[in-house]
Each structure stands twice: as structure tokens, then as C-alpha cells.
Amino acid sequence: MALDASTPVPVVDGSTITREEFQRLYYKPQKPVVLRGLWKQYPAYTKWTMDFFRQSMGNIEVGLYGNRKEDLSKTLQVPNAVMRFDEYLNLIEREPTDLRLFLFPVFKHKPELLKDFEYPKIASGYIKIPFMFFGPSNSIVRMHQDIDMSNVFLTQFHGRKRVVLFAPDQSELLYRLPFNVHSTVDVDHPDYAEYPGLNYVKGMSTVIEHGDTIFMPSGYWHHIEYLDGGFGLSVRTLPYGLSMKAKGLWNLTVQRTTDNIMRKLNDEKWFDYKKKLAYKRADKIIQGLSVA
């Protein structure tokens, strides 16, 4: 049985919600929400189609990453394939593959696209480096937290995506790998015997489609499944609160450097050590829960 993520993410009308409402109800309490139609006000909403990207930048070469095959001990660094962008778009429209275009810096290739939208006024403190994500149907973005602990606004332009979220206070029960922002847990086919902490986690889920923006607060775990071939864009704001800011900074500096060095020294042993530590931390929480 899949992890309990039966609570639906609330949905509000993103074209009418005020900054005051969003801040009070979602941003400050750090609660996820789907902002339906938030991007309808910007030209990108209708302009950014598969054909638009095919025609305007189809000739560039893109690095693509595999789906579930990647070793969990690795972070995504070396692409599994390189292809022309228009060929890739044809491929994901045509058939399921396992190749995703992840953290695509589309604006480096085409800075004029930045004129097609504004950063939504319901928030401030934007980190002005937006990224795009493209993927085929059935592809999975395995469960992770964003390393900088930023607040994420992920907008969908084409196709549907299922998004599963868990709050950051469930990290230990999700067997977060130390020195890392990934979990080894498979959300849809979890092994409860190996990971008993999963009996105690409770998440949320939703499906987003063209025009929907999902707000994922700082440190939220997300698992994403492409129900159709499609693409989206994420913009981020600085992590919420001092402790998330400190955590983001720590992750980007000390944690990442340590993890990279140790992986170079002995990847397998380091991965085993991290896994053992993750089990130990989860067991401690489970014991506390059984006593309570």
C-alpha cells in the first residue's frame, strides 16, 4: 500500500487571492496550497507551448536524466543522454521514456522569456533564478527536499503532474539520508518492513495542470509523477524563518561539500553509513512515539 498522502492539498483561486490572504493563510503558517490560475495574468500562460519551445529554441542541445534507474546514493550530476531540444519535445509527446530535463536554465538560452511573466506579488524575497522542468508521462521525480530550503512556486504549463508532499518535521520518519536531501523511500511501493517509520507519516497530494501553481513551503518533501508528458517552471523565495535560512545555508556549504568529499573517497561505504544513521534516527522517533 502506498504511503498515506490522502489529505488533498487545498485549492484556491490564484487569480483573486490577495497578498494579505496568501501571507496569512499559507505563507506565514507554511501550509501548501494550489493557486489555480495564478499565472493567467502573464503572457507566458498562453505563449509557452510545446510548439513555442520547439520553434524558438529547438536547436539547442539538452542534457537528460533517467527516471528510477539512478542509484539512490548519487545526486543528479552526469546526464544519461544528450539530445536536440526539439527532438526531446517530440519524444515526450510521442511516448513514455524515462528521460527528464531537470532544473533547465531556459533563461540563460533565451533571456527575453523573462519578459513573459512577473514574479507574483503575493510573495516577496524571490531568488530570481527560475528553472524549467520537462518530463515524459509516467516519469518520477524521486522524493527530496530542495537543498536551499527555499519556498517553491511550481507552475504547470502543459500536461498533468501528481504531487505528493510531506512536512519537514517528518524527515526522520521518511528516512532522510544524512548529509543529503533525499530519502530512499519509494512513495508508491514502500517497504514497511524495512522502513517501519513509514507507518507514522501522513502526507498530502494533488494533481496540477495548465495554469496551476503549487506552493511548497520551505523544506517540504516532494515526490512528483508526470501523468502526461509536459513541463512546468519553478520560482523560489528565500527560506522562511531563521532556522530554515540557516539550514539552507548549511546544506549548500558544509553538508554538500562533506557529502561530495566522502562520496569521492568511498561512495559505497559512505552511503551505507548514511543509511544506518537514517535507520537509527527513525528508530529513536518510533520508540518515542510508542512510549507516548
Ligand X SMILES: O=C(O)CCC(=O)C(=O)O
The residues binding ligand X (CB under 6 A) are: 133, 135, 141, 146, 152, 154, 222, 224, 232, 234
Round to whole Å and give the CA distance between 238 and 126.
6
45 versus 131: smaller Cβ distance to ligand X: 131
Name the CA radius of gyration of the chain, rounded. 19
Helices (H), the chain: 19-22, 44-47, 50-57, 85-94, 106-109, 241-250, 256-291
Nearest alpha carbon to residue 40 among 13, 58, 22: 13
Cell of 63: 542534457
Residues 251 and 148 sit within 8 Å (Cβ to Cβ): yes
Least gap, CB of 182 to ligand X (angstroms): 11
188 versus 272: smaller Cβ distance to ligand X: 188
Cell of 59: 536547436
Least gap, CB of 161 to ligand X (angstroms): 6
Round to whole Å and give the CA distance between 257 and 75.
13
Least gap, CB of 101 to ligand X (angstroms): 9
Residue nearest to ligand X (CB): 133
197 versus 232: smaller Cβ distance to ligand X: 232
Least gap, CB of 289 to ligand X (angstroms): 29
14 versus 232: smaller Cβ distance to ligand X: 232
Least gap, CB of 286 to ligand X (angstroms): 28
67 versus 234: smaller Cβ distance to ligand X: 234
